[in-house]
């Protein structure tokens, strides 16, 4: 059972296709693994073992009939609970939506089900993907599998925790200011924020229409690319969807990085902010590794991190309040304290400030994209620190400010968080690898090359 919990999608796919592993056996093992350990981590907001076994039986029957649907066939997955699954509540981890039943699947849900995926349940988040980790909501916050006394990142907290803990090999998260890459980094897994518009957001509770992204969290880079192959694609009913061909994200895996030009935004974590020494040291070691693998590594300069962060905050809070204004007027008491405080901030942003922020965003994005005439890929920090304690409000507030993820929500660039080692206290460290728009295959190539050279993703937490 324990061995099945740590299978990658790529490994499981071979076993499932060749009938060496039954989808029912696989799902049953992961259900048991979750039931044993998740009471200590709260990764699931709503586990759905009956639905999982029904999906697994369906997948098994299809495989037995020779109806193989691809590498996700029979593979368990979970959804951040802002993503609709028909017939189940989509709560956004909030009292306000606790009885809101989804009338249809989200686009990503339907794509994963069509690919033969096995739905395991809804995963914890922060309230409306912004207010957390909170202890005054109907459900407790998720905890870090490497140390349950520590934060697991947010807002896709359950997606990061469940993947790291082996409850499932794949999960959907969302990212508006870093909410896929934060839990990926804090939990030692791989999280991709794809190019803006690459993955449909239809059927997902919005936070900020112009900044929201959906993407995969997995334990390996190859698995992440396999999952993105399933969920990417144009959706004419999502106004932000990109109308261009999608897929082929595993096509460059296995290629080396010799001759690739890597630009390092070192000032994000050395000057604009000073990263924890262990975090900074792990990134510098990764850069030396790339040089040893034949890449050309040099520093590049962008706008200061604080300029990106302020611009992101003005746009995010303005758009979030516009979405929540009626509920904030009528049901403010039903929000948790953190959610109410963070959403209310948008009520005090002037229209002129919002307009100027959108204009600045365009300038920042254009300047960043222009750098790719000189480099092929960009590397910088993710979180500035390892995970803090989950019961330390001051440290948690600082953790949300001490990050360099928000710039790439503004630019819409593909950005992946990959593990770079562990702190002396055994907590994961990470960095970001960033590409120009729609260069996911190259980003995965670079991330995979580093992963194979280091093996950080092969380590798993000792669960309670």
Active site members = 80, 155, 179
Question: The sheet that has 415-422: what strands, in order across it?
Answer: 44-47, 118-123, 76-80, 170-175, 213-218, 190-193, 415-422, 428-434, 377-380, 261-264, 296-299
The answer to whether 191 and 217 are in contact (CB under 8 A) is yes
Q: Is the dihedral of CA 251, 30, 219, 192 positive or negative?
A: positive
- Any bridge partners for residue 344, and if so which? none
How far apart CA 9 and CA 144 sit, in angstroms, is: 22
Distances, alpha carbon 410 to alpha carbons 206, 309, 320, 414, 431, in Å: 16, 9, 15, 11, 18
And the tokens for 361?
């965003």
Distances (CA, A) of 450 to 29, 272, 422: 31, 26, 15
Distance CA 46, CA 99 (A): 13
Nearest to 122 by CA among 60, 80, 61, 167: 80
Tokens of 344: 């209310």
CB atoms within 10 A of CB 341: 12
Helix (H) or strand (E) holding 45: strand 44-47
Residue of 184, 174, 186 lying closest to 396 (CA atoms) = 186
Pair 182, 49: CB distance under 8 Å? no
Pair type for strands 261-264 and 296-299: parallel
Q: How many residues are there in the chain?
A: 464
C-beta separation of 272 from 308 below 8 A: no
Distance CA 305, CA 460 (A): 32
CA 191 to chain centroid, in Å, comes to 4
Instruction: Report DSSP letters for 136-201, one per residue.
Output: SSSSPPP--TT-TTB---SSSHHHHHHHHTTS-SEEEEEESSSTTHHHHHHHTSEEEE--TTSB--
């Amino acid at each position: 059972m324990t061995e099945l919990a740590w299978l990658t999608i790529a490994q499981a796919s071979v076993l499932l296709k060749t009938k060496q592993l039954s989808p029912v056996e696989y799902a049953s093992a992961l259900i048991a693994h979750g039931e044993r350990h998740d009471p200590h981590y709260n990764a699931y907001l709503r586990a759905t073992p009956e639905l999982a076994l029904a999906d697994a039986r369906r997948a098994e029957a299809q495989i037995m009939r020779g109806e193989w649907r691809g590498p996700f066939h029979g593979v368990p997955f979970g959804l951040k609970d802002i993503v609709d699954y028909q017939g189940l509540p989509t709560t956004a981890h909030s009292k306000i939506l606790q009885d809101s039943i989804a009338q249809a699947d989200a686009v990503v849900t339907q794509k994963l089900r069509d690919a033969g995926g096995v739905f395991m349940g809804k995963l914890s988040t922060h309230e409306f993907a912004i207010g957390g980790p909170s202890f005054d909501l109907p459900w407790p916050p998720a905890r870090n599998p490497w140390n349950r006394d520590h934060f697991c990142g947010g807002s896709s907290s359950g997606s990061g925790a469940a993947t790291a803990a082996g409850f499932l090999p794949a999960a959907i998260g969302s990212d508006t200011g870093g909410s896929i890459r934060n839990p990926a980094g804090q939990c030692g897994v791989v999280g991709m924020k794809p190019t803006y518009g690459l993955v449909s957001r239809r059927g997902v509770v919005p936070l900020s229409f112009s900044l929201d992204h959906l993407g995969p969290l997995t334990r390996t880079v190859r698995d992440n690319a396999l999952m993105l192959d399933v969920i990417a694609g144009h959706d004419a009913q999502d106004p932000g969807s990109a109308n261009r061909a999608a897929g082929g994200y595993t096509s460059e895996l296995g290629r080396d990085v010799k001759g690739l030009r890597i630009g390092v935004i070192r000032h994000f974590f050395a000057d604009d902010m000073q990263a924890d020494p262990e975090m900074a040291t792990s990134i510098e070691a990764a850069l030396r590794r790339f040089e040893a693998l034949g890449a050309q590594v040099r520093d590049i300069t962008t706008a200061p991190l604080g300029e990106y962060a302020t611009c992101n905050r003005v746009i995010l809070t303005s758009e979030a309040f516009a979405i929540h204004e009626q509920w904030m007027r009528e049901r403010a008491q039903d929000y948790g304290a953190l959610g109410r405080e963070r959403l209310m901030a948008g009520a005090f942003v002037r229209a002129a400030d919002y307009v100027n922020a959108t204009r600045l965003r365009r300038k920042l994005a254009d300047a960043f994209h222009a750098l790719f005439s000189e480099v092929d890929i960009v590397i910088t920090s993710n979180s500035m620190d390892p995970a803090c304690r989950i019961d330390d409000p001051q440290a948690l507030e600082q953790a949300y400010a001490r990050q360099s993820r928000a710039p790439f929500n503004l630019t819409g660039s593909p950005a992946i968080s990959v593990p770079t080692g562990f702190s002396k206290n055994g907590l994961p460290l990470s960095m970001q690898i960033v590409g120009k728009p729609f260069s996911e295959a190259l980003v995965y190539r670079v991330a995979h090359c580093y992963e194979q050279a280091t093996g950080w993703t092969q380590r798993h937490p000792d669960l309670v």
